[in-house]
Structure 1
């Protein structure tokens, strides 16, 4: 019997995290009788006087959101990280370790209107969002070791406010995901004298098996080691380490990426496709001046949907007790997304 990766179970290695993913494509044939979700509704007003992210509305903290006309940034009224606070005592017990955690949390509103998103914003308006991301990354990066820009889209991902926005959590410590990536990216660079993700981009462009979309500056792929069914990565064709390295040409091209990716996601199951997305680049703060050629700036989209707008992937059982597992091959997922039109469906 000849091995066929589209039919037979196998393991795939994730060099970014030094872990393996179990791929079981034959399981895609099984019937589904588990939980289904309610498809998210599209109907939101342009302005809602009760929505705290709308211009002129008073937030729960008592502060008034100003009547902004482009992007708007404010300190999160209920932050997970604070700039000041008492520090825990040091412990010499290896089983009970505590460290100081300080930081700041901000919210970025993309636009004053609630009924807009990347798919119907102009290139100029999307570039304004990118400029704000870069501005925040530069400002917070001078002080904090890690600046995490991220967005949760849709109620399925825990987003309770439909207004187009994202968050920034900046911290004095390096969180687990980038810490693990930093270790493995450095090991690869030390061994091969080349950034791992640039090497990966070049090989994906040659193979052309997992590409969802590309333009002159960026390529979007379903990574070879993806865990989530329709997970994607946004990678630069020219090596850059941080968001702050993005130039004007890359900004314009990235605006195209942001628009096209969400359109293809939404077209896949004809819904407002839920996901968590964010950006990873070289650590900052006291590491800002350190030479970190092993890092390549990149974006990550992690959507939960599996078979339709109402069926999502659950990380349970084997996944939480042993290792990640997927049924749909990444090549099939990439093809499904790639085939979607670049014009969003209409209701």
Structure 2
């Protein structure tokens, strides 16, 4: 009988933040690829696009006019998924089979830069720091509303991730309930904190820094890594070394380090296949429900879909929709591939 080896044999890995499992099938990565192949279309964008509804001074689809902003700019989404004046109401059948509840919230768009042709990996750290500053301001101001209990900051990059406008931007959706993903994390974080009196992510990061297998980089205040339980081929996290629960607890130096980590990881992504790398990314932090949440630990998730090249994507289908998520290459292999890349963006070599 052969000895079990995680680089060769199928196995499951536990996501300690959610309690969910991922199936890892590393032997499948060795099979030849005979699937879909697409051509890359490298788009060269101007610094300013008169037809872009996010560029400074332009009219948005809803008829509002953008100011001629020179730094990160935020506004209420013209087509918000949540509204702040939704009346209370819902449905609760006696048998519990039919339940619904009204949901209030505020949705905003944040333009990272006035320049239409930039993305985060192409911006200076000082410019990204201003984005982090604005995130913190919005987390505070939106979270002060009595009906807002969670503020979700996120970025969808690339048309494959449903991004409808290439101008560098992200979104902020706030809601009266805590969404599913951070709610699952809160349960696990609280259980661990009640048991050990420490942050689960603080202990996890310390263990990862000792092993070095999945760590992509670190600076004085943040660590970038491929999580042990990663589902997407090149999934990653940025985690604060110090146990902070939200953006408001970061010092100015830590905010700059966060910005530097954001840039470093996204440069890695772009360099992997020498393409503007698509992903969905978002910050998980403490709810804004007025309660103390010492169990929470600030971190940012990155979920990119690319698998084998700039044109071959990972899809969640079949077993993954009906059973549980599955991946072919191990987290350790992904981390090594990212670590081996140049630190200089491919466009500027």
Query: If the length of structure 2 is used for normalisation, what is the TM-score?
Result: 0.96
Does residue 263 (structure 1) correspond to residue 267 (structure 2)? The answer is: yes
The answer to whether 1:154 aligns with 2:155 is no
Matches within 5 A, 1:20-169: 20-39=21-40, 41-91=42-92, 92-143=94-145, 144-169=148-173
2:322 maps to 321
Conservation of the 8 A alpha-carbon contact between 1:13 and 1:21: yes
1:304 is paired with a residue of what secondary structure?
A: coil
Q: Is the 8 A contact 1:40 1:272 kept in 2?
A: no
Report the CA distance shift for 1:308/1:50 in structure 2 as closer, same or farther (over 3 A): same
Distance 2:34 2:67 in 1: 48
Distance 1:160 1:38, change over 3 A: farther
Instruction: Look up the SS of the partner of 1:234 in the other structure.
Output: strand
Distance 1:154 1:291 in 2: 36
User: Do the aligned residues in 1 keep the contact of 2:9 with 2:25 (CA within 8 Å)?
Assistant: yes
Offset, 1:205 = 0.6
- C-alpha distance in structure 1 between counterparts of 2:91 and 2:267, whole Å: 50
Which is further off, 25-34 or 130-139? 25-34
Alpha-carbon distance in structure 2 between the residues aligned to 1:37 and 1:86: 47
Aligned match of 2:278: 274
> Is the Cα contact below 8 Å between 2:120 and 2:266 reproduced in 1?
yes
Secondary structure of the equivalent of 1:266? helix
TM-fit CA distance, 1:4: 1.1
> Is there any run of 5+ residues in structure 1 with no aligned partner, and where?
none
**CA-to-aligned-CA distance 1:297-340 (integer Å, 9 cap, x gap):** 00000000011000011100110100111100000000101111
Equivalent residue number for residue 248 of structure 1: 252
Superposition RMSD on alpha carbons, in Å? 1.3
The alignment of Structure 1 onto Structure 2 pairs a total of residues equal to 344
| Contact 1:42-1:272 within 8 A present in 2 as well | no
Distance of aligned partners of 1:329 and 1:96 in 2 relative to their CA distance in 1, 3 Å threshold: same
Q: 1:40 and 1:257 mapped to 2: Cα distance?
A: 28
Task: Please list every run of 5 or more consecutive structure 2 residues that lacks an aligned counterpart in the other structure.
Answer: none
Q: Which moved more, 1:268-277 or 1:91-100?
A: 91-100
Distance 1:183 1:255 in 2: 28
Distance 2:124 2:90 in 1: 51
1:40·1:155 contact (CA, 8 Å) conserved in 2? no
Question: Within 2, Cα distance between the matches of 1:165 and 1:137?
Answer: 16
* 1:40–1:154 contact (8 Å) kept in structure 2: no
Q: CA deviation at 1:346?
A: 2.3
Show structure 1 runs of 4+ deviating over 6 A: none
- Find the aligned partners of 2:40 and 2:208 in 1 and give their Cα distance: 33
Structure 2 counterpart SS, 1:98: strand
- In structure 1, distance between residues paired with 2:6 and 2:84: 49
Where does 1:188-227 land on structure 2 (aligned, <5 Å)?
188-227=192-231
In 2 relative to 1, CA 26–89 (structure 1 residues): closer, same or farther, beyond 3 Å? Answer: closer
Query: Could you say if the C-alpha distance between residues 19 and 45 of structure 1 is closer, same or farther in structure 2, counting changes exceeding 3 Å?
Result: same
Match of 1:302 in 2: 303
Shift of 1:223: 0.1
Partner of 1:179: 183
For residue 41 of structure 1, report the CA deviation from its aligned partner.
2.3
CA distance in 1, matches of 2:132, 2:110: 11
What secondary structure is seen at the aligned counterpart in 2 of 1:73? strand
The alpha carbon displacement at 1:16 in A equals 0.9
